[in-house]
Structure 1
Amino acid sequence: MPKNLLQLLFLLATAIPISAQKKTSFDQICEKTTVVTSHKNLPAAFKTADSLYLTAQTSQEKIKSLILSSELYQYSGNFKKAIGYSESAHSLISQIDDTEQMIYICRLLARQYRQVGLYERSKKYIVKGLESSKLITDFQKSNETAGLLNQEMAFYEMELGNYSNAIQDIEASLESFDKAKISNKSKTIAVSYQALGDIYFKLNDYLVSENYYRKAEALLKKGSCTLGLIYNGLGGIRLKQKNWKEAEMYLKKAEKIADTSRSLKLRKAVYSNINDYYEDIGDTFKASLYAVKYVRAYDSITVRNQEFFTKNPENTINKTVKNGGLNIVKNVAIIILFVSIIGLIIFFRTKEKKQRSKLRSIIRTRQQLAYGSKERQEQSSHEIEFSNISVEEIEEKDSDAD
């Protein structure tokens, strides 16, 4: 499949010299790779994306091939490479004037950074995308992109637990979608309704929550990740209401979608609710089975995030982490060196004091020896002097003195 698509690209490039037609063929191959090939043969889709990048004739085509690679890696769960390709596309877009592509890549990066837990960096790209959406002259496109970005901002606020802000963002997204008249794109609006259902469920307003879940369900016909989240939300409401029969029905529907989905977030949410269901009805054996499934999904998300931070040399965030590690090593080395210097100073001062005390003792000993020899000399000299005087001379001197 990839070889045939690549041959088709070369044929169109050589036979049809019109740039607009070449761009259309390039777009068609990108779209077909995303929709068809990625689901049937993911490795072949990666090869096609690489080939498209090598044969790209313009900056726009290179950007599209980078975005395609990013989305494929995100679909496979490799967020390290997905963000790497998205950042490369963002750098290339910054060098040209393409507002629509800038908005698209900002929303893509915002979603990817949110999924790996870098919320503030995610918000940075949301804000940048919203600012760029104001530059679009087409009224419909401007409102559509604003709606999608406000939707992403709501997810950001939900991750932080700011539910009131999230409701405002979702309402802003629905207002923008209404202005853009995209009622035929039901999946986009269904995501907003599903998000509102999740928010009001967190706020324990189950009646309003179910109302929004029903609105979202009515817009979706086939099984999708969003529909799985809707069934999981309805099952969660029935658990709170202790309606075990309907809770089981909705959770089984959600599980069927989760088992065939690549979304770890969906699996984690569904397995958690099913575990609670079996715990509530007293089936500890099945509860333990779904507890294991939940832990596996949770661990997979944790490992994915850790791999992004520890094994991504191309990412600036990882560089910051590495620099932080180097700074810690430097600080430890400085501390060790400082302690060593202090130890040497104490050692030399102690040694110097010992030498001084030893020197003083030597000096005192010598002084004592010198003083003792002097006394002996004086004593001996006195003895010599008195030995030369006779008894008669002493008596004469005494009488003269008298």
Structure 2
Amino acid sequence: MILLTTATTAAQNNKATNKFDSIYFETAVHISATDINRAIAIADSLHTHSESELHQLKALMLSSTLFQQKGEMKKSIHYATMADQLAVKNNFYDWEARIAGFLSTQYRILGLYEQGEVYLEKGKNVSKLIENEEIKILYLGLIFQETAYYAMEYGNYQRAHKAVKTAEGYFMRLTDEVNKNYFLATNEELLGRTCIGLKEWDEALQHYNEAIKRMGKITQQDAMLNGFVHSGLGRVYFEKNEPLLAIDHLKKSEQIVQLSDHLELKIEVYKTLSEYYKSEDDYKNYSVYHDKYIDAFQANEKKKKQSIDNFVNTIQQRDKSLSFNYRILIIVAIFLVLIIIATILWHRRSKQRDFERFKLIMRKLKEQNRGGNTTEIESGEPVLKDKKRLISEAVESKLLSDLDEFEKTGRYTDNQISLPMLAGILNTNTKYLSYVLKTHKNKDFNAYINELRIRYIIEKIEKNDVFKNYKISYLAEEAGFSSHSKFSAIFKSVTGFSPSTFLDYLEKSTSLSKQS
């Protein structure tokens, strides 16, 4: 009788497990790609009706993953943290390692790298405790993939590529063919990303095609992975100047985007599509997709900010719940106040000088912009009066007038602009153009363009408050610079301040203006 009861119970448990796994898989792979809100509701139902703590944990992680796709990082981290508590309680080391990697990803996306790397280290340590060799090598591979993402965040694509190749070594050792092909497909997609970062277009193409080949061996396709692969192929063919192939893959990726609410994929696809149509001089479609890209970007940034605020508030609430010795707390508080007061007094004079210098720079920039967005020296009499005249006064006057018109168009934000290109736009040659720039602007071509870009982005920031909340990398791209670091260096050389310091002073100046 006992044996019969045990066997019956085991059969019931297996039946429940099979039903759970079937619903779980269908929701994670198919429903999430077409109706993410319905998928979230199913995940919540799975959690509510599951008696097994392992099933509850898996349902929580499904919810967390779905909220991540929507860009709702606050909820994503909340559900993942609940799942982590169940994993720790039951010594589910495989899930504990997986959740650590997942949380590391979430904090990386939010830009909270220090917190994210804590979870990444936890994932490495917990993975060593996993007894099942198949699962252990799987999670070690995932950890190296996450390491690659951190390297890409820091702009180190060589290191990222090396980490992904290490992950490949682990995935190749998997014995389950479905898992092996799936995770190698994700790895090939990631290798494609690193090659794009390294501008190795042909190698990137090979990896994306290999990802498609691997996915073809899997019965159930991952829609989001396909979306990123086609988006990557679109980017590669765009860079290789093969527009028909580029738009074919971008449209395939867009179809997946339209059925899902995956903000990261939306941002990537819409950005590439806007660049494609711009290159084709199709400004109508360029405007449509550029607006979609900005909307998705802003929505993502807003959700990130909300999640970061929540993270900070959580830490504050946790600190309040700790039992401190009040006497020590008061002493420490007084000590900190004294340090802060001393620091404020020490820095006040230098900060005030910097702020006055900032106001002077802003006045000069406004005066110059009112003069037609020209450089420091007004066009008219040459700066180098003793320089031998190279061209006639009529041609020189016409070229100066054309330069003024060019400055009004904003085409200097095109990161492909060059001296020969500008000379072509103005129907002159590079020698005449360089002469006029040196004579009347007292600058070479690069200094001239860079100063126009800096003034352009300052004017954008000053007139539109939303620009004050953007990352420096976005401001750099908007102004036409190829990198965050180059933008920051040139911004400081033009204004005397780093972009972040300039934004702080601009906020202070705006507040003072409102008060007055």
TM range, smaller chain? 0.5 to 0.7
Runs (5+) with no aligned partner, structure 1: 1-13, 321-326, 340-402
Query: C-alpha separation between the residues in 2 aligned to 1:121 and 1:319?
Result: 16
Q: Distance in 1 between matches of 2:282 and 2:78?
A: 45
Pairwise CA RMSD:
3.5
CA contact (8 A) 1:232 1:270 kept: yes
Distance 1:318 1:245, change over 3 A: farther
Distance 2:175 2:185 in 1: 15
1:36 maps to a residue whose letter is T
2:67 pairs with 1:84: no
* Greater mean deviation of Cα atoms: 35-44 or 266-275: 35-44
- Equivalent residues in 2 for 1:50-89, closer than 5 Å: 50=44, 53=47, 57=51, 59-89=53-83
CA contact (8 A) 2:35 2:259 kept: no
Residue 46 to residue 30, structure 1, CA distance change in 2 (3 Å) = farther
Residues 176 and 318 from structure 1, CA distance in 2 versus in 1: closer, same or farther, beyond 3 angstroms? farther
Counterpart residue type for residue 104 of structure 1? R
- What is the rounded CA distance, in whole Å, between the counterparts of 1:21 and 1:265 in structure 2? 41
Among 4, 9, 20, which residue is 1:18 paired with? 9
Q: Cα distance, 1:294 vs. partner?
A: 0.7
Give matches, 1:207-226, under 5 Å: 207-221=202-216, 222=221, 224-226=223-225
Structure 2 distance, partners of 1:55, 1:251, is 40
C-alpha distance in structure 1 between counterparts of 2:62 and 2:249, whole Å: 35
1:29-84: CA deviation from partner (whole Å, max 9, x where unpaired) = 36515623954876666566556555655654543443343234334442211211
- Report matched runs for 1:120-269 at 5 Å: 120-185=114-179, 186-221=181-216, 222=221, 224-269=223-268
Q: Secondary structure at the match of 1:130?
A: helix
Instruction: Spell out the pairing of 1:334-349 with structure 2 (5 A cutoff).
Output: none
Q: Please tell me whether the aligned partners of residues 167 and 196 of structure 1 are also in contact (alpha carbons under 8 angstroms).
A: yes
Residue 36 (1) aligns with residue 27 (2): yes
State whether residues 195 and 201 of structure 2, in contact with CA within 8 Å, keep that contact through their aligned partners in structure 1: yes
**Residues 216, 230 of structure 1: 8 Å contact kept:** yes
1:150–1:172 contact (8 Å) kept in structure 2: yes
In the TM superposition, residue 271 of structure 1 has moved relative to its aligned partner by 1.2
Aligned match for 1:108, one of 102, 107, 110: 102
User: What secondary structure, in the 3-state scheme, does the structure 2 residue paired with 1:255 have?
Assistant: helix
Query: CA separation of 1:24/1:125 partners in 2, compared to 1, >3 Å: closer, same or farther?
Result: farther
1:158 deviation in Å?
1.5
Structure 2, unpaired ranges of 5+: 320-332, 346-516
Q: Distance in 1 between matches of 2:125 and 2:247?
A: 45
Decide whether the 8 Å contact of 1:139 with 1:180 is kept in 2. no
CA separation in 1, counterparts of 2:287 and 2:95?
A: 47
- For 2:14 and 2:112, the matched residues in 1 are separated by 35
Contact kept in structure 2, 1:30 and 1:68, CA below 8 Å? no
2:92 aligned partner: 98
Could you say which structure has the higher helix fraction? 1
- 1:361-402 alpha-carbon deviations (Å, 9 max, x no partner): xxxxxxxxxxxxxxxxxxxxxxxxxxxxxxxxxxxxxxxxxx
Distance change >3 Å, CA 73–CA 230, structure 1 → 2: closer
* Cα 1:116–1:284 shift into 2, 3 Å: same
Supply the distance in 1 between the matched residues of 2:244 and 2:47 (Cα, whole angstroms).
53
2:130 alignment partner AA: I
Q: Which residue identity is paired with 2:251?
A: K
**Residues 306-345 of structure 1 mapped to structure 2, 5 A cutoff:** 306-311=305-310, 315-316=314-315
Q: Which amino acid aligns with 1:287?
A: Y
Q: Distance in 2 between matches of 1:148 and 1:253?
A: 27
CA 1:122–1:35: 2 relative to 1, 3 Å: farther
Instruction: Give, as a single letter, the amino acid of the residue that structure 1 aligns with 2:291.
Output: V
Whether contact under 8 Å (2:27, 2:39) holds in the other structure is no
Q: How far has the Cα of 1:23 moved from its partner? A: 7.3
8 A contact 1:154–1:167 mirrored in 2? yes
How many pairs are equivalent?
316
C-alpha distance 52-237 of structure 1, shift in aligned 2 (>3 A): closer
Q: Give the deviation of 1:123 after TM superposition.
A: 2.3
Report the more deviating stretch, 266-275 or 234-243.
234-243
Q: Given that residues 309 and 317 in structure 1 are in contact (C-alpha distance below 8 angstroms), is that contact kept between their aligned partners in structure 2?
A: no
| 1:183–1:189 Cα contact (<8 Å) kept | no
**1:399 matched to which residue of 2?**
none
Residue 112 of structure 2 is matched in structure 1 by 118
- Contact kept, 8 Å, 2:36 with 2:260, in 1: the verdict is no
Asked if the contact 1:34–1:72 (Cα under 8 Å) also holds between the matched residues in 2, the reply is: no
> In structure 1, how many angstroms separate the alpha carbons of the residues matched to 2:249 and 2:68?
28
Partner Cα distance (2:38, 2:230) in 1: 33
- Provide, for residues 311-367 of structure 1, a one-character-per-residue CA deviation record: whole Å limited to 9, x for no partner: 5687438878xxxxxx9xx97xx97xx99xxxxxxxxxxxxxxxxxxxxxxxxxxxx
1: CA distance, partners of 2:188 / 2:37: 35
Query: What residue in structure 2 maps to residue 383 of structure 1?
Result: none
TM-score, normalisation: structure 1: 0.68
Corresponding letter in the other structure for 1:199: T
State which structure, 1 or 2, has the greater radius of gyration over its C-alpha atoms.
1
Alpha-carbon distance in 2 for matches of 1:239, 1:190: 22
1:179–1:15 Cα change, 3 Å: closer
